[in-house]
Amino acid sequence: MRCKLCWRDAVEGEDYCTYHLEAYRRILEAYEDWRGAMDIGWEEFLREISENPATGEWAREVALSLLGEFRSLSPSGSPSPPSPRRRRGSS
């Protein structure tokens, strides 16, 4: 299966290739740090990093994709990020 965001093969059981999966893992780690630093929710965090010029392009692609998913799946907003498994099941 192809990665959701590029032409590479997806890692088995995941939506993303190895690079986008790494970017996703880093986004989750960063979210914890952001929450420790300021009062911020998942959607706002994703918007912030997707607009930040320092964000790497793979991380930005994942953030935009998660932002799209988040807006279409939970219009009311969910306070915590979904895990990769849950995301896959829901898509």
Partner 1 sequence: MKADRTLGRILVICEKPRAAQRIAEALDEGGKPLKRRMMGVAYYLARRDGDELVIVSALGHLYTVAQRGGRWTYPIFDFTWVPVHEADRRAGKRRVFIEAIKRLSRDVEGYVSACDYDIEGSLIAYNILRYTCGESSLKAARRMRFSALTRRDILRAWENMSGTLDFPLIEAGRARHEVDWLFGINLSRALTLSVKRASGFYRTLSIGRVQGPTLSFIRDREIEVRTFVPRPYWVIEAEAEIGGRRLKVEYAGGRIEREAEALEIERRCGGRVGLLKAVSRSRHRIQPPTLFNLGDLQREAYRVFRYSPSKTLRLAESLYLDAYISYPRTSSQKLPPTIDVREILSGLRETAYGPLVEELLSRKTLRPREGRMDDPAHPAIHPTGIAPKGLKGAGARIYDLICRRFMASLGEEAVRERVKAEIDVEGHLFHLKGGRVIEAGWMRFYRPYVREKEVELPPLEEGMPIRLLKVEAVRRFTKPPSRYNQSSLLKRMEEAEIGTKATRAEILDTLYRRGYVEGDPMRITDLGFAIVETLSHYCPEILSVEMTRSLERKLEAIRLGEIKADEVVEEAVEALKPILKRFKEREMAIGLEINRAIRGDIIRANTLGNCPRCGRELRIFRGRESGKRFAGCVGYFDGSCTVTYPLPQRGRIEATGKRCEVCGAPIIRVIRRGRRPWELCIDPNCPSKGVRR
Secondary structure of residue 33 in the 3-state scheme: helix
Q: Position of tokens 């300021």?
A: 38
d(CA 61, CA 33): 20
Does residue 55 bind partner 1 (CB under 8 A)? Answer: yes
Residue 34 near partner 1 by CB under 8 A? yes
Instruction: List beta partners, residue 2.
Output: 9
Smallest gap, in angstroms, from Cβ of residue 76 to partner 1? Answer: 25
Query: How many chain residues are in contact with partner 1, going by CB under 8 A?
Result: 22
Residues that bind partner 1 (CB under 8 A): 7, 19, 22-23, 26-27, 29-30, 33-34, 36-39, 49, 52, 54-59
